[in-house]
Amino acid sequence: MAAAAPFVLKWGVIATGYISSCFTKDLLADPKERGTTDVAHKIIAVGSRSVESAQKFIEEHAGKNSEIKAYGTYTEVYADPDVTAVYIGTPHTLHYENAKAALLAGKHVLCEKATTSNAAELRDLLALAKEEKLFFMEAMWTRFQPIAKEVKRVAEEGSLGLPVVLHADLSADFDIENKPKTHRMLDPKLGGGALLDLGPYPMIWAVLALYEHPANKKALPTTVTGSIVKTPLTGVDMNTSWTINFTETLKAQAILSASMTIPANKTGVIIRYRNGNILIQSPIYRPLSFTVQYFDKPGSGNVVREETKTFSHTGGGWYYEADEVARCIRDGKPESETWGHDKSCLLMDVFDQVRKQGGYEFPPGVEKVLPKH
Ligand SMILES: NC(=O)C1=CN([C@@H]2O[C@H](COP(=O)(O)OP(=O)(O)OC[C@H]3O[C@@H](n4cnc5c(N)ncnc54)[C@H](OP(=O)(O)O)[C@@H]3O)[C@@H](O)[C@H]2O)C=CC1
Ligand SMILES: O=C1OC[C@@H](O)[C@H](O)[C@H]1O
């Protein structure tokens, strides 16, 4: 019997910057190369603030004779009847208005991290998606990489016991002294800083190992404590740390940090248990290996067995999240079970609190003031 034809998701891509380029390359990769046969992707249109930029982007990725439509506005992508889902690759503080416009035009949405400027904006989008019966997901690509599934299996299989403390850091040297102050990492109007750009990655491992742990029973963090060091260049957060306690059911703590002026450590995440540790190697947004250490007896710290698991994949690894979006839309699901709305809200709630405690306010008008949902 012939295999069923894959469900083909028709995409519109918004913005032609760095991440749109990475995501587009992965959308254009042959799904069979990663063992995917049930879904596939087709790019219908690319929207940019300039049609020349959209054309150049299409030519670079799909060649001169590509049938992908180039638009000089994002609105034309939302209005294109052939587009089923919109991928949003603009800077953080534009996500709300871009995602809202796409949803209002009847499109499903995959929106880059950080999903919005604040939790209220996100909840407003989620309410709209629900009302319009459309799918919405934060582009938390790391959570869909095969390594994340395996870390989760080890973390929940029982030999290590319950998680006690998780340390996770994502740092990267952005050479900010030599960047224009209008760069998205430095400009407060674009939500610049380490927290919203790098912070989602320490958070995904905390969510996976603590929030998702069956013993946590989906309890939300009980406390969040944050501290920010700002750059004098523009006042955005440069070195930021925060702790999250999950103490309603688990008695666990996540100690997280992000910096945009230093390189990452070799080990980016350590999940510590009474019976051992899980060490995840950098970069924590796309780790290719992790090591599990087992102690001879609970609490001894004496490692008697170590297992390292390594992973590899062609392409950048963004296609796993794209496949998830296609499957959810094919199956009529409003959200992903792996990275659902609850997790995106958890992240934004934490970021709101850390920014508040660290005294990082966006310029007036950047954050939308919205009714509570
Ligand atoms: N998942 C991941 O691995 C990554 C995710 N990201 C996320 O993607 C988003 C974009 O980051 P990145 O691609 O690095 O950013 P870039 O600056 O490279 O690209 C952003 C694009 O957004 C569009 N844009 C619209 N309005 C503005 C504006 N006022 N200022 C600047 N750009 C604007 C531009 O496209 P145009 O001119 O075509 O309209 C621009 O090229 C961020 O939210 C970031 O967190 C970033 C890197 C990696
Ligand atoms: O999402 C991201 O992942 C990798 C980082 O280098 C980048 O700044 C960030 O936006």
Q: What pLDDT digit, counting tens, does each position of 83-104 carry?
A: 999 999 999 999 999 999 999 9
For the residues 33-39, what does the mean pLDDT come to?
A: 96
Give yes or no for a contact between 293 and 166, defined as CB atoms under 8 angstroms apart: no
The rounded mean pLDDT for the chain is 97
For the residues 177-192, what does the mean pLDDT come to?
A: 98
The atom number, within ligand 2, closest to the CA of 112 reads: 1
Helix, strand, or coil here: 243? Answer: strand
Peptide bond before residue 232 is cis, with ω within 30 degrees of 0? no
For the residues 332-350, what does the mean pLDDT come to?
A: 98
Q: Write out pLDDT tens, residues 282-321.
A: 999 999 999 999 999 999 999 999 999 999 988 899 999 9
Portion of the chain with pLDDT greater than 90, in percent:
97
Given its phi and psi angles, is residue 94 left (phi above 0), alpha (psi -120 to 50 degrees) or beta? Answer: alpha
Helix, strand, or coil here: 370? Answer: coil
| Long-range Cβ contact pairs of 365-369 (< 8 A, separation 24 or more) | 366/93, 366/117, 366/188, 366/189, 366/191, 367/93, 367/117, 367/118, 367/120, 367/121, 368/96, 368/117, 368/118, 368/120, 368/121, 368/124, 369/120
Q: For residue 366, which ligand has an atom nearest its CA?
A: 1
Closest residue by Cα to atom 3, ligand 2, is 285
**Who lines ligand 1 at CB under 6 A?**
15-19, 48-49, 53, 89-92, 94, 112-113, 139, 141, 184, 190, 197, 285
Q: Write out pLDDT tens, residues 236-264.
A: 999 999 999 999 999 999 999 999 999 99
Q: Read off the amino acid at residue 32.
A: K
Closest residue by Cα to atom 4, ligand 2, is 285
Written as six digits, the tokens of 297 are: 């007896």
Q: Ligand 2 pocket: which of 110, 143, 195, 197 to mutate (most atoms <8 Å of CB)?
A: 197
Written as six digits, the tokens of 105 are: 């035009």
Written as six digits, the tokens of 101 are: 């416009």
Task: Determine the Cα–Cα distance for residues 340 and 218; give it in Å rounded to an integer.
Answer: 12
57 within ligand 2 shell (Cβ under 6 A): no
The domain made up of 147-312+349-358 has a fold known as: Dihydrodipicolinate Reductase; domain 2 (3.30.360)
pLDDT class for 322, splitting at 50, 70, 90? very high
Name the nearest CA neighbour of 127 among 107, 92, 102, 100. 100
Task: Determine the Cα–Cα distance for residues 108 and 84; give it in Å rounded to an integer.
Answer: 6
CA of 184 to the centre of ligand 2 (A): 12
124 within ligand 2 shell (Cβ under 6 A): no
Neighbours of 293 (CB within 10 A): 21
DSSP code at position 136: E
For the residues 68-88, what does the mean pLDDT come to?
A: 98
Q: CB under 8 Å to 68, separation ≥6 — which residues? A: 43, 44, 45, 46, 58, 62
For the residues 44-59, what does the mean pLDDT come to?
A: 98
Give yes or no for a contact between 323 and 110, defined as CB atoms under 8 angstroms apart: no
- For the cut 90, the answer to whether the pLDDT of residue 369 exceeds it is no
pLDDT given for residue 86 in this prediction: 99
CA of 9 to the centre of ligand 1 (A): 23
CA of 132 to the centre of ligand 2 (A): 31
Domain boundaries, the chain: 7-142+318-339, 147-312+349-358
pLDDT class for 3, splitting at 50, 70, 90? confident
Residue-level length of the chain:
373
285 within ligand 2 shell (Cβ under 6 A): yes
For the residues 156-185, what does the mean pLDDT come to?
A: 98
- For the cut 90, the answer to whether the pLDDT of residue 372 exceeds it is no
The atom number, within ligand 1, closest to the CA of 19 reads: 13
349 within ligand 2 shell (Cβ under 6 A): no
pLDDT given for residue 2 in this prediction: 73
Portion of the chain with pLDDT greater than 70, in percent:
100
The domain made up of 7-142+318-339 has a fold known as: Rossmann fold (3.40.50)
pLDDT given for residue 1 in this prediction: 66
pLDDT class for 208, splitting at 50, 70, 90? very high
- For the cut 90, the answer to whether the pLDDT of residue 175 exceeds it is yes
Q: For residue 26, which ligand has an atom nearest its CA?
A: 1
- For the cut 80, the answer to whether the pLDDT of residue 120 exceeds it is yes
Instruction: List 71's β-bridge partners, or say none.
Output: 47
- Whether 7-142+318-339 shares its CATH topology with 147-312+349-358 is answered no
Task: Determine the Cα–Cα distance for residues 320 and 151; give it in Å rounded to an integer.
Answer: 16
145 vs 69, 156, 267, 316, CA distance in Å?
30, 17, 18, 10
Residue 217 class from Cβ within 10 Å (0-12 exposed, 13-18 middle, 19+ buried)? Answer: exposed
- For the cut 90, the answer to whether the pLDDT of residue 20 exceeds it is yes
